[in-house]
Amino acid sequence: MTEFDDLMQSAWQTARPPADSAALVASVHRTRWHQRLRRCLEIVLTLVGIALLTRPLFGGATTPAYWLVMPFFVAYLPTVWWLLLRQTQPSPADAAQNVRSYAHTRLTQLRAGLRDLRIARVAAFVLLAYASVAAISAFVAGDPAWQAPARNLLVCAGFCVLGTLWLSRWQGRGRLREYRAMRRLT
């Protein structure tokens, strides 16, 4: 039993909790605020995507930019919301269980988070591939009306890949470190 206690202490020290309760409360509030802000951003992006997709239904023109972006949003929006809605949230009952049960629960959450980061990287590279094919096709066809939107889509996809890789690395390091510590516990 002492080996398990040592592993738990090691995992707890790896997470480096704040020393006092005021810092812990502030950290919890900050985390909740970030989660709310992120969810609001996700909702706004979804509404913008839906507005762009339904624009022709309300008399908007279907420009080349619309036709280039539409397939991405048709695949992207349902996938993102499927991933977001299936994420499990930790419950207070999970934390109140014994240490081994908590470690298994947290390990499952971390594994899902790492998988979601991997899916995000794959999705970003698929977007880049789609944008590359669209740009090459537009430039081969030689139609100037399609070239500028295809080039803009390619640039945006490049920034999306860079941002996703940065975010994935930034979040992945902490999750992977915690995952390894929790895995030692189980």
Determine the pLDDT at residue 105.
Answer: 78
pLDDT tens profile 127-168: 899 889 988 988 898 788 888 888 888 998 899 899 889 988
pLDDT tens profile 34-64: 888 888 887 887 888 788 778 887 877 777 8
Distance CA 26, CA 109 (A): 23
Q: Is the pTM of this model over 0.85?
A: no
Residue 73 CA, distance from chain mean position: 16
SS (H, E, C) 109-168: HHHHHHHHHHHHHHHHHHHHHHHHHHHHHHHHHCCHHHHHHHHHHHHHHHHHHHHHHHHH
Determine the pLDDT at residue 12.
Answer: 61
Residue 173 confidence class, pLDDT cut points 50, 70, 90: confident
Element housing 56 (H / E): none
Q: What is the mean pLDDT of the chain?
A: 79
Determine the pLDDT at residue 9.
Answer: 65
Q: Which of 46-55, 69-78, 135-144, 173-182 has the lowest mean pLDDT?
A: 69-78
SS3 46: helix
Q: What is the CA radius of gyration of the chain?
A: 22
Distance CA 140, CA 134 (A): 10
Q: What percent of the chain has pLDDT over 90?
A: 5
Q: Are 10 and 180 in contact (CB under 8 A)?
A: no
The stretch 116-128 carries a mean pLDDT of 87
